[in-house]
């Protein structure tokens, strides 16, 4: 059995037991978690920005782009400050992202800058602070000419901003497999999306490794959401009745429900994951927070840069 497949099976098996027990007996390594990202991570920032216009709740869960708590909501034992906005790009000065009503949202670099200007910046250099960065494909969605060789350096500006402020721990999430995302398939053929995703992740890995080598005082890790989602979609249909299409259709901010139970689907809507997938995402991150993460097989999707 492939190692990554074994990892995912362990995630499902231990979700209801070992994670809860370990949280009780093993305090997190990180007291503070600072998060930057887009709609995969947003816990209500766009909802507040648009005065509860989007994401429409219900059916979305309390301003999340999910039918229940997303992966950030499911983290336990640490204080979380979330700067993520749905529709965010790597840098608004590179590609501007917009939400409903053509309202601009801050990109990752602007989120980091807002963090640095605020009260929470006092945590940046503490050894018990973890910074998590997860940005999807919005640069390409808002500008089709924004290819990986431009997007990755744009993201690295934010990583360098954190390193320059002596951030001790950074966890960067790689690119989801765009060739499986329903909305992606409406933009380009699967082979092209797979190529662009692979190019992005190759450049991301190399860039982060270079920064890690240059600044050994900062511990940089990569969470391969690509590997996790690929395994869910391609080899674990037993856990989901549908791994290819979406339960809800969202067009022009109108939601049409095509199924009764979204958690039977990997994809909630054209872009976003169902609550059950978010649980799978949260589990390795939660394990990474614990002192035993290095030997815990549930963290096999996370590696040193």
Q: Find all residues with CB under 8 Å of 122, minimum gap 6, and list them.
A: none
Across the range 234-244, mean pLDDT stands at 85
Q: What DSSP string runs through 143-173?
A: -TT--HHHHHHHHHHHHHHHHHTT--EEEEE
232: pLDDT strictly greater than 70: yes
> What was the pLDDT predicted at 235?
85
Average pLDDT value for the chain: 91
pLDDT in tens, 77-98: 999 999 999 999 999 999 999 9
Cis preceding-peptide flag for 281 (omega within 30 of 0): no
CA 62 to the chain's CA centroid: 18
Say which residue, 292 or 213, is predicted with more confidence: 213
Residue 95 falls inside a structural domain: yes
Residue 78 falls inside a structural domain: yes
Across the range 157-172, mean pLDDT stands at 98
Residue 281 falls inside a structural domain: yes
CB 234 within 8 A of CB 242: no
Percent of the chain with pLDDT over 70: 89
Residue 157 falls inside a structural domain: yes
299: pLDDT strictly greater than 80: no
SS3 269: coil
> What was the pLDDT predicted at 145?
93
Residue 293: pLDDT band (50, 70, 90) is confident
6: pLDDT strictly greater than 70: no
| Enclosing domain of residue 195 | 32-293
> What was the pLDDT predicted at 15?
47
What is the sign of the dihedral through the CA atoms of 287, 291, 293 and 295? negative
Q: Find all residues with CB under 8 Å of 260, minimum gap 6, and list them.
A: none
Residue 8 falls inside a structural domain: no
SS3 28: coil
20: pLDDT strictly greater than 50: no
Q: Report the domain count for the chain.
A: 1
Q: How far apart are CA 28 and CA 7, in angstroms?
A: 21
Residue 221 falls inside a structural domain: yes
Residue 114 falls inside a structural domain: yes
Nearest partner of 292 among 13, 28, 5, 14, judged by Cα: 28
> What was the pLDDT predicted at 237?
65
CB 249 within 8 A of CB 259: no
Q: How far apart are CA 40 and CA 80, in angstroms?
A: 16
pLDDT in tens, 177-204: 999 999 999 889 999 999 999 999 999 9
SS3 23: helix
> What was the pLDDT predicted at 46?
99
CATH assignment at residue 179: 3.40.50.1110
> What was the pLDDT predicted at 18?
41
CB 202 within 8 A of CB 153: no
Residue 299 falls inside a structural domain: no
């Amino acid at each position: 059995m492939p190692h990554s497949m074994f990892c995912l099976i362990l995630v499902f098996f231990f979700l209801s037991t070992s994670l809860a027990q370990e949280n009780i007996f093993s305090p997190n390594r990180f007291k503070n978690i600072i998060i930057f990202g887009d709609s995969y991570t947003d816990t209500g920032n766009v909802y507040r920005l648009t005065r509860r216009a989007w994401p429409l709740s219900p059916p979305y869960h309390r301003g999340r782009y999910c039918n229940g708590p997303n992966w950030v909501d499911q983290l336990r034992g640490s204080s979380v400050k979330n700067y993520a906005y749905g529709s965010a790009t790597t840098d608004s000065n590179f590609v501007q992202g917009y939400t409903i009503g053509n309202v601009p949202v801050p990109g990752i670099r602007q989120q980091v800058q807002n963090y640095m200007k605020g009260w929470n910046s006092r945590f940046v250099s503490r050894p018990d602070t973890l910074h998590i960065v997860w940005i999807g494909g919005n640069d390409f969605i808002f500008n089709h000419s924004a290819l990986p060789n431009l997007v990755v350096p744009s993201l690295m500006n934010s990583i360098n901003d954190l390193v320059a402020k002596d951030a001790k721990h950074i966890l960067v999430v790689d690119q989801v497999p765009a060739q499986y995302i329903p909305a992606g398939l409406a933009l380009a053929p699967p082979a092209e999306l797979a190529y662009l995703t692979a190019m992005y992740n190759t450049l991301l890995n190399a860039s982060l490794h270079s920064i890690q080598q240059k600044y050994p005082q900062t511990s940089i890790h990569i969470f391969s959401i690509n590997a996790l989602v690929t395994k869910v979609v391609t080899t674990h249909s037993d856990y989901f009745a549908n791994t290819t299409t979406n339960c809800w259709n969202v067009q022009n901010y109108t939601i049409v429900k095509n199924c009764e139970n979204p958690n039977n689907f990997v994809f909630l809507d054209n872009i976003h994951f169902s609550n059950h997938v978010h649980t799978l995402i949260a589990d390795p991150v939660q394990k990474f927070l614990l002192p035993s993460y290095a030997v815990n097989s549930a963290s096999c999707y996370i590696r040193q840069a």
